[in-house]
Amino acid sequence: MGTYLLLDVGSTFTKGLIVDTDEVKILGHAQAPTTAQTDIVEGIEAVKAKLADVIAAHPLTATRLCSSAKGGLKMIAVGLVPDLTLKAATLACTSAGAKLVGTYSFTLSEREVEAIESAQCDVLLLAGGTDGGNQEVIIANAKALSRLTPRFPIIYAGNKSAADVAVPILRQHGFTVSVSDNVMPTTGVLQVDSAREAIRAVFLDTIVKAKGLSSVASVIENVVYPTPSSVLDALSLLANGTPNQPGWGDLMAVDIGGATTDVYTMHQRLPVSDNAMVRGLPDPLIKRTVEGDLGVRFNAASVIDHLSRVESVDQGLSDYAHSLALHPHQAANPDFDVRLAGACARLAAQRHAGRLESAYTPMGRIDLQVGKDLRPLKTVIGIGGPLIHAKDVQEILSQVRYNPAQPEILLPVDPHYALDKHYVISGLGLLAKSHPDAVLTLLKQTVEELTHDQS
| Residue (of 65, 85, 71) closest to 16 by Cα position | 65
pLDDT at 212: 58
Tell me the β-bridge partners of 264.
Answer: 253, 288
Tell me the β-bridge partners of 325.
Answer: none
In a domain, 281, yes or no: yes
Same domain flag for 320 and 434:
yes
| Residue (of 182, 189, 117) closest to 150 by Cα position | 117
> Which CATH number fits the domain that encloses residue 147?
3.40.50.360
Maximum C-alpha span of the chain: 75
Q: Which of 173, 206, 239 is the last residue of a domain?
A: 206
| Residue (of 208, 244, 254) closest to 415 by Cα position | 254
> Reduced to 3 states, what is the DSSP secondary structure of residue 143?
helix
In a domain, 348, yes or no: yes
> Reduced to 3 states, what is the DSSP secondary structure of residue 30?
strand
Q: From the CB of residue 52, how many other CB atoms can be counted at a distance below 10 Å?
A: 11
pLDDT at 422: 92
Same domain flag for 368 and 312:
yes
The 3-state secondary structure of 94-105 reads HHCCEEEEEEEC
- Direct distance between the N- and C-terminal alpha carbons of the chain, in angstroms, rounded to an integer: 44
CA distance 144 to 2: 50
Tell me the β-bridge partners of 9.
Answer: 14, 67
Same domain flag for 352 and 396:
yes
Domains identified in the chain, total number: 3
In a domain, 345, yes or no: yes
Same domain flag for 190 and 84:
yes
Residues (pLDDT < 70) of the chain are 36, 70-71, 206-224, 452-455
In a domain, 454, yes or no: no
Query: Which DSSP letter does residue 400 get?
Result: G
Same domain flag for 161 and 29:
no
Same domain flag for 376 and 258:
yes
Q: Which of 220, 249, 274 is the last residue of a domain?
A: 220
| Residue (of 84, 74, 206) closest to 133 by Cα position | 84
Same domain flag for 390 and 370:
yes
| Residue (of 33, 3, 93) closest to 290 by Cα position | 93
Tell me the β-bridge partners of 267.
Answer: none
> Which CATH number fits the domain that encloses residue 13?
3.30.420.300
In a domain, 455, yes or no: no
pLDDT at 17: 96
CA distance 253 to 236: 11
Tell me the β-bridge partners of 14.
Answer: 9, 32
Q: At a CB cut-off of 8 Å and minimum separation 6, what does 203 contact? A: 73, 96, 97, 122, 123, 223, 225, 226
The per-residue pLDDT for range 398-446, each reduced to its tens digit, is 999 999 999 999 999 999 999 999 999 999 999 999 999 999 999 999 9
Same domain flag for 165 and 309:
no
Tell me the β-bridge partners of 123.
Answer: 75
Same domain flag for 86 and 28:
no
Q: Which of 165, 197, 220 is the last residue of a domain?
A: 220
Same domain flag for 410 and 398:
yes
The per-residue pLDDT for range 335-362, each reduced to its tens digit, is 999 999 999 999 999 999 999 988 887 7
- Cβ-in-10-Å burial (0-12, 13-18, 19+) of 311 comes to exposed
Q: At a CB cut-off of 8 Å and minimum separation 6, what does 66 contact? A: 7, 8, 9, 223, 224, 225, 226, 227, 229, 230, 426, 427, 429, 430
pLDDT at 59: 92
Same domain flag for 88 and 110:
yes
CA distance 110 to 434: 46
Dihedral angle, C-alpha 347, 348, 352, 355, nearest 10 °: 0
pLDDT at 97: 86
CB of 66 closer than 8 Å to CB of 7: yes
In a domain, 254, yes or no: yes
pLDDT at 313: 92
Domain that residue 8 falls in: 3-70+211-220
| Residue (of 285, 284, 287, 410) closest to 356 by Cα position | 410
pLDDT at 454: 41
Tell me the β-bridge partners of 225.
Answer: 66
In a domain, 428, yes or no: yes
In a domain, 316, yes or no: yes
Same domain flag for 115 and 202:
yes
| Residue (of 44, 23, 22) closest to 32 by Cα position | 44
Continuous H helices in 5-86? 40-50, 52-57
